[in-house]
Amino acid sequence: MTLLRASSILALAALAGVATPRAAASQTIAAEYRDAARRIVAAATADHRAWERLGELVDRFGNRLSGSVALEKAHDWILAGMAEDGLRNVRGEPVMVPHWVRGRESLELLLPRAKQMRMLGLGGSVATPPGGVRGEVLVVSSFADLEARADEARGRIVLFDVPFTDYGATVQYRSGGAVAAARAGAVASLIRSVGPESMQNPHTGGMRYEEGVERIPHAAITLEDAAMLHRMQERGERIEVLLRMEARTLPDAQSRNVMGELVGSELPEEVVVLGGHTDSWDVGQGAMDDGGGVVAAWEAVRLLGELGLRPRRTIRVVGWTNEENGTRGGRQYAADHAGERHVLAIESDGGVFAPLGFGFGGSDAAYEIVKEIGTLLEGVGAGAVTRGGGGADIGPLMETGVPGMGLEVDGTRYFWYHHSDADTLDKLDPDELARCVAALAVMAYVVADLPEGLPR
């Protein structure tokens, strides 16, 4: 509605001969690239090539934790595919990444009744002693609740049963739960998995320790089991569990950022970079997080090449490594390419569900332009370009002043599957993924081709 009104105001202004410079420039951009955008959208949505390619990636290599053989084999496969597609300057740039290995793990409810519980150790956690940690459970609802009951936590296993509000808030218990529990004298800590819905699937993810605070094992259980333990405590029942984890951190491993290019026709040294991260947690298939983002960006660039749409500036597709437990790929990329002029960085790491548009981080002048480009994507539902956006992998580039944007999608189901065994290809829709490809391709192409570039 707002967009319709904006365009009719522009039309009226044009009829009346009123020319504000911005309106004139905007109209030119939208009009200039309408045909190219139509061609891109038609080609991207004509088949399910991205979904098929993603299926090959995740079925062939499975999940891809940093340091795993699967991740490096996936990198080899991506590089071979990019070369086959005719992308230029296809290469892997070395990155040293953390190497955490889960090992065997289990959680047994001993009291008030025996039950094997589904669990996932959190990434970076230490192991338990070989025989495991047996202890009485104290269920708390928040950090404040733990503080209030600190005298009960000593020697116990603390469970944070914290309902999901939004990711940023609830993830604090995953990242900082072990430190808070250890400070209170707990011997291990558990969290209710970070997600709004559950079908008995625990969710893993990163966590941290702090210098000077004892490192205790830290794991996630399902929403269902967390709620059950909480009910048991409220009934005054004694709860005991046995936690066993063999997790260990090995020396850093060799990995790569993988990339290929569509070289610009006039200003090849200026770059629009887009991509996602190739690594995933060691569960599920890493299809949604973030194989889909990598493949959508890759397909977007392949498609532009196939259509013979060669922009003035270079478009580079990158699969960043180690987003999940280090962000070393994003940081290494920013360091390796600090001497280049990046016009824009685009990341897709919110799942390749129905695209809604982009979140943009950059100057007001640049925002006006990318918002106008967004109107070319209204047909695929991805026309909304909003203020504020980016991504973990492009964060280090954005800190140096490069404008950045993240693909925005319908995230309703994202945290149902996130970092769990349920992150598999079947959760993604081939048509929605195709529309993500269209959105990325149009945005990257137009920005890379703008006669005057995107202002900082």
Q: Peptide bond preceding 290: is omega within 30 degrees of 0, i.e. cis?
A: yes
CA distance 71 to 175: 24
Confirm if 219 and 127 have CB atoms less than 8 A apart.
Answer: no
Question: Among 282, 290, 421, 423, which residue sits at the site for Zn ion (rule: CB under 5 A)?
Answer: 290
Min separation Cβ 349 and Zn ion, Å: 4
CA-to-CA distance for 175 and 137, rounded, in angstroms? 20
* The pair of three-digit structure tokens given for residue 232, joined into one six-digit string: 């048991």
Provide the token pair at 85: 């597609």
User: Annotated catalytic, 93?
Assistant: no
Specify the residue, 383 or 404, whose C-beta has the smaller distance to Zn ion.
404
Catalytically annotated residue among 270, 323, 372, 432: 323
Binding characters for Zn ion, 113-152, by CB under 5 A (x = yes): ----------------------------------------
Name the amino acid, one letter, at 243: L
Nearest to Zn ion of 287, 384 (CB atom): 287
Distance between CA atoms of residues 323 and 391, nearest Å: 10
Binding piece for Zn ion, criterion CB under 5 A, among 93-101, 223-231, 344-352, 375-383? 344-352
Residue 68 CB, shortest distance to Zn ion, in Å, is 16
Nearest Cα to 360, choosing from 271, 443, 449, 258? 443
Binding region for Zn ion (CB under 5 A) out of 104-112, 209-217, 345-353, 377-385: 345-353
Report yes or no: 356 and 410 within 8 Å, Cβ to Cβ: yes
> Least CB distance from residue 289 to Zn ion, whole Å?
4
Residue 289 or 421 having the CB closest to Zn ion: 289
How many residues lie near Zn ion (CB under 5 A)?
3
Radius of gyration of the chain from its Cα atoms, rounded to whole angstroms: 24
Tell me how far, at minimum, the Cβ of 317 lies from Zn ion, in Å: 16
For Zn ion, the closer of residues 225 and 349 by Cβ is: 349
In the complex, least distance from residue 402 CB atom to Zn ion, rounded to whole angstroms:
20
- Determine which residue in the list 347, 349, 393, 423 makes contact with Zn ion, applying CB under 5 A: 349
Residue 233: Cβ-neighbour burial (10 angstroms; 0-12, 13-18, 19+): middle
* Nearest distance, CB of residue 417 and Zn ion, angstroms: 12
Do 100 and 322 touch, CB atoms closer than 8 A?
no
Span interacting with Zn ion, options 77-85, 126-134, 180-188, 285-293, rule CB under 5 A: 285-293
SS3 for 68?
coil
Q: Is 289 in the site for Zn ion (CB under 5 A)?
A: yes
**Closer residue to Zn ion (CB): 304 or 407:** 407
Which residues, 6+ apart, have CB-to-CB distance to 168 below 8 Å?
none
Catalytic residues: 323
Binding site for Zn ion (CB under 5 A): 289-290, 349
